Amino acid sequence: MTIYPAIDIKGGRCVRLTQGRADQETIYAENPAEVAAGFRATGSAWVHVVDLDGAFAGEPQNLEAVQAIASLGMKVQLGGGLRTRASVERALGFGVSRVVIGTRAAESAAFVGELVQAFGEKIAVGIDAKNGQVAVKGWVSTADLSALTLARRMDALGVATLIHTDIGTDGMLTGPNFPAQEAMLAAGKFRVIASGGVSRREDVVKLAALARSHSNLDGVIVGKALYEKRVDLPDLLALARAG
């Protein structure tokens, strides 16, 4: 299982939002690349980056900061505003290892299919769920589509990786929505990266146990709990390695 420490970028700075709300922002660092360098120093190979401005604007806004992170030699998984092929190509050209398609995946299966044909496993789909329904456009609106239905459509297209975020737990430090994650794991052949709610070491222990019974649980994204020092990244990485 892979631990994906998270960096959310807004206005060029490292922030966290509570349940994706732009008016519930906490600034943790002025320089996201410095935060990523800290993750790398503790042994993390991956970093999950979200361009929050891009998610709200519909076009990446912080690629300079993303490029600075990629230049550290880390594998960058990037989401936020990637709604055209040109923006996807630009991000990959900046050294991003995997891009996450969110809003456009809910709107156009054909768009995702085209990207999977062109870029293969470099394309992941982010499914952000609010009460089981897909949330889009920076979580400000909900599509008339269930998360599991969208997951099955993506599976049929050959999408290799899904990032499943439960909005109700995101940034709340209340623990993951385990039943929702288990339902997603059972929905297809894709790998699932769980996101939302990790608040303590025991949450990751439980996810590691889930990964032993569900081989397609690829990993977990950890954000606010790291910044609030509720969990220790080297300890989580050791847990993940131990399986």
Our answer to whether residue 128 is catalytic in this structure is: yes
Q: How many CA atoms lie within 13 A of 25 on its CB side?
A: 13
Q: How far is CA 212 from CA 31, 165, 185, 190, in A?
A: 36, 20, 12, 16
Which residues are bridge partners to 135 per DSSP? Answer: 142
Record the tokens describing residue 64, joined without a space. Answer: 């300079």
Q: Give the Cα separation of 86 and 93 in Å (integer).
A: 10
Place of tokens 């949450």: 203
Our answer to whether residue 235 is catalytic in this structure is: no
106: Cα separation from own chain's centroid:
16
Measured from the Cβ of residue 66, the count of other Cβ atoms closer than 10 Å reads 26
Spatial contact of 55 and 138, defined as CB atoms under 8 Å apart: yes
Q: Catalytic: which of 53, 128, 170, 218?
A: 128
Q: Would you please indicate which residues are annotated as catalytic (active-site) residues?
A: 8, 128
